């Protein structure tokens, strides 16, 4: 099946291919680094990771830019409260964000770039918008006049006509969903960090940073722009107004938006206090892979309810896959090739990639995997799975893991020494001799969790690291 995405702009599912050079030019909105990101934020970033990997699986190259919002009202407020310069304050959370992304195995975009390194570019863009009469100044701030952009509302499919006169807000945190002119440049309040520029002292609004960085690094029309659904309005609507007023060209061809991670029917958010950071979850003993799996197991356009039971099921699902892989890699199967199983594996692989190509239907893709695992396990139990079926099975798991990336356990800081492995292997042999199979299985699992695979051979037990 050809790759297709639901496009918020057209409200249709459309076949996707990049416009030029087989390269997807993509921009995704990054974090505001005023605190640790919560796992709700990471649902959106994990969706972007699946998007990247699926695009690559379709043979496309990637040129992906993500911003770091390192100046905004909350950052200024919190840094001031701690008596720190904002750079020092945001450095901590930028670093934490990148560490958390790595723990969740989220691929790095080709370019990650902070807003404060682009103040000059933003000022130049605002001056051009001024020249084209898209702005007005008030009390040292500069606002975008929405009535100068007839397409305003086309992404959120809202009719703003008759609702635009003169109203405006100058904060980054929008609560009201009504039409407002928005700040491009903000005059400093007493004692606030400000940049001295031809526009006067101040700092950029949030929306202009994304327009400027996308245009600068990716060109006038990008292939994909993505983020969480809460960004559709006003952030992405405002990005379109700014960018298209600057270039006269469509800003992005495809707009993809991820639904929320919920807790008991409400969006996980800082302001509601119903959130967990990745660190909170790891401190409770869960593996980062379990969180990764949970976040990506539901299709991105469906909201996903977070529970610890869900997290336990995710961990169990990963364990099932790992056990299957171990069985495939270490069991002895009868010689020959079962055509029936070869066809079964090929069908599962096709079903898997078709599901992902169908607007990243991760649940469908995982369904294909687990049905295959069940069928293959039964075939193995019945002695019907042959040595000739092993390679295709392992290849299929590699195809799955190129997207889901959960099979390899995270190497713990407490890396298990060879001597410790040896003594557990010896203990397992004793347990087997004493017919204590529960204990011997437990040791096998414990070693597997440390990335050590056991192979029972005629010559005794061999072990290797994954």
**Per CB under 5 A, 29 contacts Zn ion:** yes
Of 3 and 268, the one with the shorter C-beta distance to ligand AMP is 268
When the beta carbons of 298 and 380 are compared against ligand AMP, the nearer one is 298
Question: Among 107, 230, 319, 420, which residue sits at the site for ligand AMP (rule: CB under 6 A)?
Answer: 230
Out of Zn ion, ligand AMP, none, what residue 393 binds, judged by CB under 5 to 8 A for its kind, is none
Strand partners, 17: none
50 scored as a contact of ligand AMP (CB under 6 A) = no
32 binds ligand AMP (CB under 6 A): yes
Part in contact with ligand AMP (CB under 6 A); list of ranges 148-156, 179-187, 255-263, 421-429? 255-263
Q: Contact between 210 and Zn ion (CB under 5 A)?
A: yes
For the chain, how are helix, strand and coil distributed in percent, rounded to 5?
Answer: 50, 20, 35
Assess 65 for contact with Zn ion (CB under 5 A): no
Q: How far apart are CA 206 and CA 34, in angstroms?
A: 14
End-to-end CA distance of the chain: 33
Closer residue to Zn ion, CB minimum distance, 48 or 210: 210
CB of residue 28 to Zn ion, shortest distance in Å:
8
Query: Which of 70, 358 has the CB closer to ligand AMP?
Result: 70
Q: Could you count the other beta carbons within 10 Å of the beta carbon of residue 109?
A: 21
Cis peptide before 234 (omega within 30 of 0): yes
From ligand AMP, Zn ion, none, interface partner of 210 (C-beta below 5 to 8 A by class)? Zn ion
By CB under 6 A, tell whether 44 contacts ligand AMP: yes
Point out which span in 26-34, 71-79, 247-255, 261-269 binds Zn ion (CB under 5 A).
26-34
In angstroms, what is the minimal distance from the CB of 267 to Zn ion?
A: 18
- Burial pattern 366-404, b for ≥16 Cβ within 10 A else e, equals bebbeebbebbbebbeeeebbebbeebbeebbebbeebb
Of the pair 262, 421, the CB lying nearest ligand AMP is at 262
Contact pick of 228, 234, 299, 393 for ligand AMP (by CB under 6 A): 228
Give the number of other Cβ atoms within 10 Å of residue 313's Cβ.
Answer: 15
Measured from the CB atom, is 109 or 228 closer to ligand AMP? 228
Tokens at residue 397, please?
A: 């798991």
- Tell which one of 8, 25, 27, 40 touches ligand AMP (CB under 6 A): 40
In degrees rounded to 5, what are phi and psi of residue 381?
-60, -35
Q: CB nearer to ligand AMP: give 42 or 385.
A: 42
Residue 99 and residue 147 in contact, taking contact as beta carbons nearer than 8 Å: no
Other beta carbons within 10 Å of 15 = 10
Residue 306 binding: pick among ligand AMP, Zn ion, none (C-beta 5-8 Å cut-off by kind): none
Shortest distance, position 269 Cβ to ligand AMP, whole Å: 6
Q: DSSP characters for 240-277?
A: HHHHHHHHSS-SEEEEEEEPPEEETTEE--TTTT---B
Give helix 86-103 / helix 73-81 axis angle, nearest 10°.
110
What φ, ψ does residue 94 adopt, rounded to 5°?
-65, -45
The 10 Å Cβ neighbour count of residue 145 is 18
Determine which residue in the list 65, 103, 222, 268 makes contact with ligand AMP, applying CB under 6 A: 268
Q: Which tokens sit at 1?
A: 């099946």
Residue 269 binds which entry of Zn ion, ligand AMP, none, CB below 5-8 Å type-dependent: ligand AMP
Q: Is 404 in the site for ligand AMP (CB under 6 A)?
A: no
Residues forming contacts to ligand AMP in the complex (CB under 6 A) are 29, 31-32, 40-41, 43-44, 227-228, 230-231, 258, 260-261, 267-269
Residues forming contacts to Zn ion in the complex (CB under 5 A) are 29, 210
């Amino acid at each position: 099946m050809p790759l297709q995405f639901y496009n918020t702009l057209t409200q249709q599912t459309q076949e996707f291919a990049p416009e030029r050079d087989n390269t997807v030019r993509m921009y995704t909105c990054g974090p505001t680094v005023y605190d640790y990101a919560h796992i709700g934020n990471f649902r959106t970033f994990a969706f972007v990771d699946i998007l990247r990997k699926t695009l690559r699986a379709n043979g496309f190259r990637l040129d992906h830019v993500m911003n770091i919002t390192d100046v905004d009202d909350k950052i200024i407020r919190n840094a001031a409260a701690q008596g720190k310069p904002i750079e020092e304050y945001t450095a901590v959370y930028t670093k934490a964000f990148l560490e958390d992304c790595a723990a969740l195995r989220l691929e790095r975009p080709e370019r990650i770039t902070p807003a404060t390194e682009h103040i000059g570019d933003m000022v130049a863009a605002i001056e051009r918008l001024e020249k084209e009469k898209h702005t007005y100044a008030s009390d040292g701030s500069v606002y975008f006049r929405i009535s100068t952009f007839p397409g305003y509302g086309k992404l959120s499919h809202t009719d703003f006509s008759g609702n635009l006169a003169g109203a405006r807000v100058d904060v980054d945190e929008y609560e009201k969903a009504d039409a407002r002119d928005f700040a491009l440049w903000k005059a400093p309040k007493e004692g606030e960090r400000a940049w001295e520029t031809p526009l006067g002292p101040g700092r950029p609004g949030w929306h202009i940073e994304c327009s400027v960085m996308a245009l600068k690094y990716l060109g006038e029309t990008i292939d994909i722009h993505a983020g969480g659904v809460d960004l559709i309005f006003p952030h992405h609507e405002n990005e379109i107004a700014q960018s298209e007023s600057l270039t006269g060209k469509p800003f992005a061809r495809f707009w993809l938006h991820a639904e929320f991670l919920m807790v008991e029917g409400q969006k996980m958010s800082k302001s509601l206090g119903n959130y967990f950071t990745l660190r909170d979850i790891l401190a409770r003993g869960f593996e980062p892979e379990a969180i990764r799996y949970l976040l990506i197991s539901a299709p991105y356009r469906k909201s996903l309810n977070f529970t610890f039971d869900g997290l336990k099921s995710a961990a169990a699902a990963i364990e099932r896959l790992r056990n299957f892989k171990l069985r495939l890699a270490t069991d002895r199967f009868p010689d020959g090739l079962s055509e029936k199983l070869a066809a079964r594996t090929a069908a599962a692989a096709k079903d898997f990639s078709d599901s992902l190509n169908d607007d990243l239907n991760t649940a469908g893709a995982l369904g294909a995997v687990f049905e295959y695992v069940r069928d293959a396990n039964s075939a193995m139990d019945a002695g019907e799975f042959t040595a000739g079926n092993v390679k295709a099975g392992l290849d299929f798991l590699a195809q799955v893991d190129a997207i889901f990336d959960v099979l390899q356990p995270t190497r713990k800081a407490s890396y298990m020494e060879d001597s410790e492995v040896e003594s557990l292997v010896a203990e397992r042999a004793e347990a087997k001799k004493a017919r204590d199979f529960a204990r011997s299985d437990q040791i096998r699992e414990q070693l597997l969790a440390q990335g050590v695979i056991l192979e029972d051979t005629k010559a005794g037990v061999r072990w290797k690291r994954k």
